[in-house]
Amino acid sequence: MTTTSEAERRAMQRALALAVTPGVPLGPNPRVGCVLLAADGATIAEGFHRGAGTAHAEAAALAEAGDAARGATAVVTLEPCNHTGRTGPCSEALVAAGVRRVVYAQPDANPVAVGGAGRLREAGIEVVGGVMIEEAQAINRAWTFAVARRRPFVTWKFATTLDGRSAAPDGTSRWVSSRAARLDTHRLRGLCDTMLVGTGTVEVDDPELTVRDEVDEPVAVQPLRAVMGLRDLGPDRRIFNDRAETVHLRTRDPGEALARLHELDRQHVFLEGGPALARAFLSAGLVDEVVAYVAPMLLGAGTSAVADLGITTIADALHLHVTDVAVLQGHDGEDTNVRLTMKPLTTPRRA
């Protein structure tokens, strides 16, 4: 079994840090870092991918290294690509540069780009894969999921009272979530490339669905606004203003909606619709993460956070695993919500 040196592992840690350099977009391309090492383990050059259409991490590092790349070891967070898109194949660039060894973390599951490791081995280059693979997958969570599943990763976000109400009987819901929770929601919106609601939410709430200026670092490009449903919507709805791109998905089927978004190269959907849309995605088993903002209040009646899932006995309950808990507290100490991040463990049973 081929092993890696301590210098190579340190280089991989550095490559992972390069991949997430501030300002690098979350998609549609994966974030990738690369470090070139000399025979004695010293760093020759570094590079990282800055977004679609720019030089890949390997190409950036090779350009910095010049002739010093000959005989070097390339440490890269993703298997070098083997296709020509906006840029040439990284596998061919590494071969041409005379690199002796390539150590990579995550295999490239993209059917268009796959095959880089094989091409390198054919050229006589020593290749080691799977080094710090979990860390590499984590920095490209949505991209990794979308490539493997052929659909976007779905995060369902909702705000609720302690008794599971998202709005009072008269429809008012403005203060179910605290200001701190609303700011946190905008932060999470900025981590996604698509925000999805139903036509009913657009008609009733008329949301703009943008990442607001209150976030610490305004996003360079607003996420796509997607509205799902068959009914026509008036052009005066705020979701159709010029602050972001909008697409109307004329279907009630969550699978069809996600397939269309996948065709648009979207990888992470932030589901912010009402209880009926949440039920549709949960029932279809198409929710991958749940973010709930829980307010310390009781209503006793009103709109439920999710519509009837058809569950009549506790044995059929949809179970979730809590992955993170955070207390979001305002400056006055009273404007407090709890954020629960969870992943579904089961899908509701259908009658």
Residue closest to 254 by CA, chosen among 219, 229, 221: 229
- The rounded distance, in Å, linking the Cα atoms of 219 and 213 is 9
What global pTM score does this model have? 0.88
Q: pLDDT, tens digit, for every residue of 62-109?
A: 999 999 999 999 999 999 998 777 777 999 999 999 999 999 999 988
- More confidently predicted of 268 and 178: 268
180: which 2 tokens? 């701190």
Residue 351 has pLDDT above 50, yes or no: no
- Known catalytic residues are 58
Q: pLDDT, tens digit, for every residue of 12-32?
A: 999 999 999 988 888 889 999
Q: pLDDT, tens digit, for every residue of 148-196?
A: 999 999 999 999 999 999 888 887 776 788 888 988 999 999 999 999 9
What are the structural domains, with CATH classification, of the chain? Answer: 6-140 (3.40.140.10), 150-344 (3.40.430.10)
- Using only the alpha carbons of the chain, give its radius of gyration: 23
pLDDT band at 1 (very low <50, low <70, confident <90, very high): very low
- The rounded distance, in Å, linking the Cα atoms of 48 and 52 is 12
Cβ neighbour number for residue 346 with a 10 Å cutoff: 11
Buried b (16+ CB within 10 A) or exposed e, 108-142: bebeebbbbbebbeeeebebbeebbeeebbebbbb
Contacts of 84 (CB under 8 A, 6+ apart): none
Mean pLDDT of 275-291: 95
Q: pLDDT, tens digit, for every residue of 213-223?
A: 555 566 778 99
